[in-house]
Amino acid sequence: MTNNQTNQPFEPFRVRSPLLGNSGQTAAPGGEGSGGPGAPSGPGWDTPFGRFHWMEARWLVMILFAVIYWAAARDRLLQPLTLLVLLACLLFRMDARSRNIAGVPLALAALKLIDQMNPGATVVPGTQILLPENAKAAMTGLPWVPMFLAICLFYLPQKPTVTGMIARAAAIALLISGLIPGDGYVMVLAMVHYTLFIGVLVGLIADFSTNGAGQNSHQAMPAAQV
């Protein structure tokens, strides 16, 4: 055995872990991330007025939706422009592949639909029945139906839902009705308008039942393992 001849305390033995060093380096910069003192976490957009995060953008877009609906409800000439809002929301919620496939046909069909729309009276396709202006507005559901679908598409969650699939299908059917010659789009808009109640109801019931079944299965897991 060797004695400590200088009677000095031993120097502590330190071990430097590379894992601890890396974690300290990654947590240091800028205070970003959840709970940090910097900017809120999550996706955002850089604009000339500053950076807008997703939650802030949701509130701003809500005000924009309200203004567009208010203007379209008071001026019939502005009602077809709600289809552009629906087109923008539909393309926004599509993934890159779906947007590349359907973007051009949907945009061209929507532009043709806006061009052939007129707020006046029209003849019911296939008949000699003259459809008055008020009856036509009640049948097509403008501007309520396009704005309802646009708002649903914008605010529904990103994960797939039955309600979201029904809203997307109704939006696509409404937009591509511009490819029908003449005033045939009136019948498609009326069909979407009068079946929207059933579609949304079925979607909500299916989504609620799926979420309830998933929660019950998660709660039953620990009891099954004991």
Structural domain count, the chain? 1
Q: Is the bond preceding 143 in cis, omega lying within 30 degrees of 0?
A: yes
Q: Would residue 13 count as lying in a domain?
A: no
Query: Is residue 42 included in any domain, yes or no?
Result: no
pLDDT-derived band at 2 (thresholds 50, 70, 90) equals low
Q: How far apart are the first and last CA of the chain?
A: 55
**The pLDDT of residue 52 is above 80:** no
Length of the chain: 226
Q: Which domain holds residue 92?
A: 52-208
Closest CA to 146 of 192, 203, 95, 112: 192
- Residue at 116 is within a domain: yes
Cα distances from 79 to residues 63, 107, 121, in angstroms, run 18, 17, 15
Q: What CA–CA distance (Å, rounded) separates 171 from 72? A: 18
Q: How far apart are CA 124 and CA 224, in angstroms?
A: 62
Please determine, for residue 48, whether its predicted confidence score (pLDDT) is greater than 80. no
Q: What distance in Å separates the CA atoms of residue 149 and residue 196, rounded to the nearest whole number?
A: 10
Please check the confidence at residue 63 and state whether its pLDDT lies above 80.
Answer: yes
> Would strands 50-53 and 44-47 be described as parallel, antiparallel, or unpaired?
antiparallel
Q: How confident is the model at residue 33 (pLDDT cuts 50, 70, 90)?
A: very low
User: In this structure, is residue 58 part of a structural domain?
Assistant: yes
- Residue 26 clears pLDDT 50, i.e. is over it: no
145 neighbors 196 (Cβ within 8 angstroms): yes
Do 15 and 1 meet the contact criterion of CB atoms below 8 Å apart?
no
**Domain assignment of residue 6, yes or no:** no
Whether 183 is covered by a domain: the verdict is yes
Q: What token pair was written down for 183?
A: 């005033």
The answer as to whether 30 is a domain residue is no
More confident call, 49 vs 112: 112
d(CA 226, CA 224): 6
pLDDT tens-digit map of 95-121: 999 999 999 999 999 999 998 887 666
Please answer whether residues 86 and 149 qualify as being in contact, where contact means their C-beta atoms are separated by less than 8 angstroms.
yes
H runs (alpha helix) in the chain:
18-27, 54-74, 82-93, 96-116, 133-140, 144-155, 162-176, 185-225
Q: Are 103 and 91 in contact (CB under 8 A)?
A: yes
Residue 107 placed within a domain: yes
